[in-house]
Amino acid sequence: MKQQLQHGVAVGAAMVLGVLAVKWLTAVGVVQGDHAEIVSRSFNVTLGILVAAMANVAPKRLRPLNELRCEPRREQGFRRASAVIIMAGGAVYSLVWIAAPAALATPLSIAALATSLLTVVLLCASAASRRNSDLRQGS
């Protein structure tokens, strides 16, 4: 628990320092452009990277498979697929903030992340439906 807290504080500090570094680089003229837009973009790129990183770590931090009453192979596949989908959503979120025009960055990045989350929700629903069907057939 203590290690997780330290990791969280370190990640939060890195995000803040990253935004402050971009702000400083803009102020001294190394990075050109609208100051507020650059800070907003750098923060959102960092946020997308954080989502992708958390999605990558999540399957390893969930309850161990041997403690669950499920088919471990199927559960591990589900966890990995969900993580890859969310990780891709976070990566696309960041890429949109890097490349898209300012007016489109917000709706496109939200659409990317929402699409990945909706895909995982549908994957969960499909898995639950299959499980219920398997249970009914086994009875």
Q: How far, in Å, CA of 111 to CA of 10, rounded? A: 29
Contact 46, 18 (CB under 8 A): yes
Summary mean pLDDT of the chain: 84
pLDDT for 135 beyond 70? no
Sorting pLDDT into bands at 50, 70 and 90, what band is 13?
Answer: confident
Residue 78 to residue 65: CA distance in whole angstroms: 12
Burial class (CB within 10 angstroms; exposed 0-12, middle 13-18, buried 19+) of 119: middle
pLDDT at 108: 97
Instruction: Write out pLDDT tens, residues 50-104.
Output: 899 888 887 777 666 666 666 777 777 888 899 999 999 999 999 999 999 989 9
